[in-house]
Structure 1
Amino acid sequence: MDHSKKIVNYINIAHFIDHYAMLIFAAAVIVIAPTFHMSYGDLLPYATPGFIAFGAGSLLSGWLGDKWSRRNMIGIFFIGMGLALVGIAFIHTPMQLGVMLFAVGVVASIYHPVGTAMLVSNVDKLGKELGINGMWGNFGVASSALVTGVINQYFGWRAAFWLPGSLVLVIGLMFLYDIPKSADKVSKKSAAGTARVPKSVMAWVVASLVITIIASSITFNSVTVALPKIFQERLSALTSNTAVLGAITFLVYLFGSVSQYVIGNLLDKHSLKSVFLPLALVVVPALFLASTMTDYGLILLTIVIIVAVFGQVTVNDTMLGKYTVDEWRGRAYSARFFLGFTAAGLSVGLVSILYNQGGFDLMLKSIAGLGFITILGALIFPREKDHIS
C-alpha cells in the first residue's frame, strides 16, 4: 500500500475519532452528573468551552499545518486526543472535567483544517474521497451515543473515556510509525489546482463559498439539532416509543451519510455548479412542505432535506479543495471550518427562539427562507471551463 492510500485511511479514521470524541460527554453526562450531586442542566455547560475551542482553534491549527507540518499535527491530534480522553477518566471535580473537555476541544480542532487539507493533497478523485471521508465522520456521530451508552451501562462512565482514549493512543503511534515526515510533500496524485475558471471571476468563487458556508451551516445544524424533537412531536400518530423514534432518526441520517458518497462521485464526473445548484434548489420547497407535514410524509421529506444538506457539506469541501493551492489549503480550510462551526453554533439559539415563537412550523419555514441565500451562492458560482468527465 502506497503512502497516499495509508494517509487517506488514517485521515478517515481520524474523522471518525474527532466526532466520536466530541460527543462522548453528551452521552455520559447523565451518568456523571449524579456522581457530583449535580443535575444534567448544571453539568452540561462545563462542555461549552470545549465546543468553542473546537471551532475557534481551527484557525491556529490550519496555520500550523501549512507553516510547520500536517503529518506532525495529525500525530499530535491522535496522541493528544488519546491522552485527553484517558485524562478525563481520572478527574474528581467538575472544574477538572471542564478543563479536560476544553483540552479535547482544542485537540479536536486540529482535524478538520489539517486532515481535510492532507486528504485533498493525496487523492486524485477529490469528490469521491471527500464523500467517503464525510461518511466516516457521520459514523462517528452516530456511534458515539450508542457505544458510550453500552460502556456506561456495563463498565462505568470512566471507561467510556479511557477505553477509546487508549485505542486512539495506539492508532496515533501506528500513524507516526507508518507515515514518514516526507508525507508533507505534495503528492503527484493531488487533486490540487484542477479547477478551471478565469482569474477574473475568482471573486465570485470566494463570495459564493462564504455565502454558502454560512447559510448551509446554519441550515445543517438547525435541522440536525431539531430533528429528534420534530419526530417526537410530528410522528406521535405512528409511535411514541423512543427507541423506534431513535431508529427512524438513525435511518434518516444513514441516507445523509450515503448521499455524501453519491454526491462526491457526481462531483468527479460533473461540474461543481451542475451538482451544487440542484441541491440548493431542493432544500427550500422541502423545508416549506415539511413545516406542516406529519407521519410518513414527514419522514420522506426529512430524508430529502438531510440528503441535500449533507450533500452540501461535500460540495463545500470540494469547492475549497479545487480552488486553493496546496501551500494555503490548511489556512483556507481553517477559515471554512471557523465560519461553519461559528454559524452552526448560532443555529442552536436560533432554533430555540423560533420554536418558542411559533413551534416547528415557524422554525422550518424560517430555515427555508435562509435556503434562498444558498441558492444565491449557487447561482453566482461560475462554471468551470473544459470540465473533464
Structure 2
Amino acid sequence: MHSKSVVTLLNVAHAVDHMFLLIFAAAVGTIARDFGFSRWEDLMPYGVGAFILFGVGSMPAGRLGDLWGRRSMMVVFFFGIGAAAILAALSTGPWQLAGALTLIGAFASIYHPVGIPMLLQQAARPGATIGLNGLVGNLGIAVSAVLTGFLVQWLGWRAAFALPGAVAIVLGFVFMRVVPHESEAPAKRKRGQVVPLTRAQLARVLGVMTVAAATGSMLFNLTTNGNAQLLNERFHGVMEDPATLGLLLGAVYAIASLAQIVVGGLIDRVALKPLYLGITLAQVPMLLLASHAQGWWLYAALLGTMVFVFGAIPFTETVIARYVDDHMRSRVAGMRLAVSLGLSSLALWLLGPLVKGVGFDTLLLVLAGIALCTSATVLWLPSEDAPMVPVPSR
C-alpha cells in the first residue's frame, strides 16, 4: 500500500492533468481577440492537437510505465506538462499556441495509463479509490474554470498558463522527494489476483469498454470544452462577468465531481452493468433539457448533465482493475485510451465549426444521441452472474 503522501500526490496529479487540458477552453475567447480572430470558434480547432496526443500518447506512455517504471514516468509528467504550459504562455500566434497545446496533450497522456494503475497497486477497495481519484481529477476541471477566469481578468491569459505551469514543476520536485524508487518495473513483478476470464470474455469486455469509453469521452470533451461558451451565450443579458461565470461553471464541476465518490462506493457493492447503464441513460433527458433552456434553467440542466457525465467516468478504470493483472495494466489502459481518446479528440476539432454552423441547441441534441450510443454499447457487457471460466495458469 502507498503512503498517504504518495496517494495525495497521485490524486493531485489527476487534478493537474485535467486542469491543464482545459485552460485553453476557458480562455479561448480572450486569446482569440488577442490574436485578431473575430470569433472564438475559429480559434478552437487549434487546440485539437492537445487532445489527439492526449489519446494517442497513452499507448507509448502505458508501455513505458510497465517496462521502465511508473514513478519515472510521473516525474516526466510533472516537469513536461509544466514546461509545455509555460511555452503556451509565451506564444505569439495561433500556430505557436497550437504546438504548445499539443505538447501539453502529449505530457497529459501519461497520467491515466500510468498514474491510475500506480494508485491502484494493492488497493483494497478499487472502486472507492477510483471514485476519490475521479473526484480530485474533476475538481481540477472546476479549478481550471475558476482560476482561469480570475487570472484572465486580473493578469491576462498568459498568466493562466504560466502560473499553473510553474506550480506543476514545483510538484515534480516534491514528487521526486516523496515517492520512493520502485524496486522493479511492473512488467517484471509477480502476477497478482484478478477476476478470471477466458480470452474471449476478456476481449469482449475490453472491446465494449473501449467503444463505451470513446463515446463517453466524446461527451466529456464536448461538454467540458464547450460549457464556458455555452454559459456565456445562454446567460447573455443575465450575467456577463467572466470571473463570475467562471465561478458558476466551477461550482457545476465541483458538485458533479462528488458523483464519482458515490459511484465508486457503489461499484464495490453492486453489479457494474445495470449501474453503468442507468447512469448513461440518465444523461439523455438532461441534455435534451439543456438544448432548450436559458439562464438559470440552463444552469440546472447543465449541473444535472455533468453529474451523470462525471458519474460514468470510474467504470472503465474499474473494469481494467478488476480483470487485468497489474504487471500489464498500464499497457492495456494505454491501448484503450489511445483508441477511445484518439477518436473522441476528433469531435473536439468539430466543436467550434459545429457551434458556428448549427448552434448549441443542435449540438446538445447530438450529445444526447451520443449518450444513447454509450448506453447501447454497455448492454453488450456480460452479466456478472454469467459463469466465468478460469484462465489457465501460466
Q: So what's the TM-score if we normalise by structure 2? A: 0.81
Q: CA shift at 1:17, angstroms?
A: 1.7
Task: Tell me the distance in 2 between the aligned counterparts of 1:351 and 1:31.
Answer: 18
Residue pair 2:22, 2:225 contacting (<8 A) in 1 also: no
Q: CA shift at 1:383, angstroms?
A: 2.7
Name the residue aligned to 1:168: 168
Task: Tell me the distance in 2 between the aligned counterparts of 1:200 and 1:336.
Answer: 17
The 1:259/1:191 distance shift into structure 2, 3 A limit, reads farther
Residue pair 1:120, 1:192 contacting (<8 A) in 2 also: no
Name the residue aligned to 2:121: 121
Task: Tell me the distance in 2 between the aligned counterparts of 1:258 and 1:191.
Answer: 33
| AA partner of residue 11 (structure 1) | L
Name the residue aligned to 2:16: 17
Name the residue aligned to 1:262: 262
Q: CA shift at 1:159, angstroms?
A: 5.1
Q: CA shift at 1:265, angstroms?
A: 1.1
| AA partner of residue 363 (structure 2) | M
Name the residue aligned to 2:337: 337
Q: CA shift at 1:356, angstroms?
A: 5.7
Name the residue aligned to 2:2: 3
Task: Tell me the distance in 2 between the aligned counterparts of 1:386 and 1:212.
Answer: 21
Task: Tell me the distance in 1 between the aligned counterparts of 2:32 and 2:362.
Answer: 34
| AA partner of residue 277 (structure 1) | L
Residue pair 1:192, 1:324 contacting (<8 A) in 2 also: no
- 1:52-67 correspondence runs (5 A): 52-67=52-67
Residue pair 1:71, 1:184 contacting (<8 A) in 2 also: no
1:227 paired to 2:237 = no
Q: 1:183-231: per-residue Cα shift (whole Å, max 9, x none)?
A: 6566xxx997444556653343123212211221222223334434444
CA RMSD of aligned residues (A): 3.6
The gaps in structure 2 that reach 5 residues or longer are 388-394
Alignment length (residue pairs): 381
The 1:105/1:353 distance shift into structure 2, 3 A limit, reads closer
Task: Tell me the distance in 2 between the aligned counterparts of 1:138 and 1:155.
Answer: 25
- 1:1-389 correspondence runs (5 A): 3-26=2-25, 38-39=36-37, 47-86=47-86, 99-151=99-151, 160-182=160-182, 193-195=193-195, 201-234=201-234, 239-242=238-241, 245-294=245-294, 297-351=297-351, 355=355, 358-385=358-385
For 2:12, what is the secondary structure of its paired residue?
helix
| AA partner of residue 329 (structure 1) | R
Task: Tell me the distance in 2 between the aligned counterparts of 1:84 and 1:144.
Answer: 16
The 1:342/1:232 distance shift into structure 2, 3 A limit, reads same
Task: Tell me the distance in 2 between the aligned counterparts of 1:31 and 1:342.
Answer: 27
Residue pair 2:50, 2:104 contacting (<8 A) in 1 also: yes
Q: Which has the higher contact order (CA 8 A, sep 6+)?
A: 2
The share of aligned pairs that are identical, in percent, is: 35
For 1:301, what is the secondary structure of its paired residue?
helix
